[in-house]
Structure 1
Amino acid sequence: MPARRSSAPAAILVPLLLVVLAVALWRALAGGAPTGTGAATGDAAEALAALEVRAAAPSTGYERELFGDGWVDVDADGCRTRDDVLQRDLTGVRLGEDGCTVLSGTLEDPYSGDEIAFRRGRGTSDDVQIDHVVALAAAWRTGAQELSDDERVRFANDPLELLAVDGALNQSKGDDDASEWLPPVGECEYVARQVAVKSAWGLWVTPAEGEAMADVLAGCPGQELPGP
């Protein structure tokens, strides 16, 4: 009669595998997964309704440098974030010899609907600027001061949080939230991107901001959250 095989290895391995899977799931749910881009998908109005509503925190202590010293290369592709965004948002892009620096291109401006020719250089580079869709000072007032230093740098360089836009309109926005400033065109997409950013980074909305966002999204039912 053949010897009977022991089932002990299987009896040990199956529970061990379940433990490994449970730990991996716990880490993801507890914050092991990276905070930021891609954390929220689906309907913008539903995502807005899921955001916490709180009064704005004091602006005390806010400094631009708390979000890093200018543009960095957070994705380690060899190019700074500003040039990554310009390459993403412009058409007909011409690059410098380094393969990163955007020398020229054309922007279909999401805030005005205008076509803007971009040419790198003194007096022309500012025609197209990179907007932090949730202004950094506004982000500071709605939860970003609770992020770590590294998270704030990644927030300020998150492609989801950034758009190439008309320079003058970007300047007029300043650090306003949606209750204080909206673009002349593309309000639905703009607010949906703000909701996506706040969802991805665990920021809240103020009562006035949330009401303004809801009013915009009520006029564009089915508006989806954007990707980066």
Structure 2
Amino acid sequence: MQNLQAKGLSALVAISILFAGTGCQSNSASATPPESSKTLDTAPATAAPAELPIISERAPTPMGEESVRGAPADPSAGTALAQLETIAIKGRAPKTGYDRDVFGQGWKDLDRNGCDARNDILNRDLTNTVHKPGTHRCVVASGVLADPFTATTIHFVRGNATSTAVQIDHVVPLSDAWQKGAQQLVPEQREAFGNDPLNLLATDGPTNGAKSDGDAATWLPPNKSFRCEYVAIQTAVKAKYGLWMTQAEHDAIQRILTSSCPDQPVPTDEGGVAVPIAAEPAPVPETVQDTPTAPVPGPVSGPDVVYKNCTAVRSAGVAPIRVGDPGWDTKFDRDGDGVGCE
């Protein structure tokens, strides 16, 4: 009997232990989630790394300088919209006395890197560049441009008949600058303006020709995705050189920035060109109302057309003049790009 009781007691203890163990496992499962659940519930959220864009390799610019176009802006520089409010608003000054040469004759090497401003910009803005032998990687013989004005790809080949496919645009046109404060600048300051990389872009030639000397109130790039950057550059250039805007120009830029890109940063200015200190203040020209520009006389045609100089070309309303145009002469083309009297 005692043996039977002992066996029964042992069985009862075993059953109790079994149920107790089962209970512990159940409690443990409810208190501690599976490893995968714990990771999802408690691990700090970490964004997946963004896939880096594939960027075409650019040939190094002369003297080993890095490309500056498209570089991040200095965060302390603020926004283009805020900078816009620092620009004075006035009417246009007379265009009297304007000539391309008042901004320096031809392209200059103001950053003293051994390469003129035109080729500096081609080296900066083009990819897959090939250089003319013996020019220390300065003169661009060919390359590929992702044109900011049209969002198209242009294959550039240097030559009298081909260079015009890519032109160097003054984002703030020289004539526009002349009528909005540049008359007050001393010659060294205007020369800096005409060769400042901040104000220069390699662009589609025909589109640049269509722009002429229009400001933001009369012309904007057909590529709408570039307009924010475009007007930000115009604003930065006018701020740097103390130029003003007309009310219509100001309002057009403000409308673009406010509606599309209120946080558009001020462009980075790392082109190595500073505004020279003026020796003495230049006289302030009398401003006039911002009225529509009178139509430019049509070009003179015929095989016997002869222009004495660029002043005569501009007076005839045919600047810039190109290879094949009536009156073309190589003396108008100082940089050999097939475009004269720019």
| SS of the residue 2:169 aligns to | strand
Task: Kindly indicate whether residue 278 of structure 2 is the aligned counterpart of residue 214 of structure 1.
Answer: no
Partner of 2:106: 70
How does the TM-score come out when normalised to structure 2?
Answer: 0.54
Aligned to 1:202: 242
Q: Which residue of 2 aligns with 1:172?
A: 210
Query: Using the alignment, how far apart are the partners of 1:176 and 1:212 within structure 2?
Result: 12
Q: Which residue of 1 aligns with 2:141?
A: 103
TM-score for the superposition, normalised by structure 1? 0.81
1:165-193 C-alpha deviation (Å, 9 max, x unpaired): 00011000001111010001111110000
- Equivalent position SS for 1:154: helix
Amino-acid identity (%): 48
Structure 2's unaligned 5+ residue stretches are 1-73, 270-342
Answering whether residue 267 of structure 2 is matched by residue 226 of structure 1, we say yes
Task: For 1:171, give the aligned amino acid.
Answer: G
Larger radius of gyration: 2
Q: Amino acid of the residue matched to residue 173 of structure 1?
A: K
Larger helix percent: 1
Which residue, out of 67, 88, 104, partners 2:124?
88
CA positional deviation for 1:113: 0.5
Aligned mates of 1:172, 1:221 — CA distance in 2:
28
Question: Aligned partners of 1:41, 1:147: CA distance in 2, in Å?
Answer: 24
C-alpha contact (below 8 Å) 1:91/1:105 kept by paired residues: yes
Shift of 1:41: 2.7
- Residue 55 of structure 1 corresponds to which residue in structure 2? 91
Residue type of the partner of 1:225?
Answer: V
Which of 193, 197, 222 pairs up with 1:155? 193
Unmatched tracts of structure 1, length 5 or more: 1-37
What secondary structure does 1:50 align onto? coil
- CA shift at 1:42, angstroms? 2.0
Question: How far apart, in 2, do the equivalents of 1:94 and 1:201 lie?
Answer: 34
Matched residue SS, 1:105? strand
Aligned length: 190
Q: CA RMSD in A?
A: 1.2
The one-character-per-residue Cα deviations of 1:22-69 (angstroms, maximum 9, x if unpaired) are xxxxxxxxxxxxxxxx9x932000000111111111111111110011
User: What is the letter of the counterpart of residue 158 of structure 1?
Assistant: D
Q: Aligned residue for 1:9?
A: none
Contact kept in structure 2, 1:41 and 1:196, CA below 8 Å = no
- Identify which range, 163-172 or 213-222, moves more after superposition: 213-222
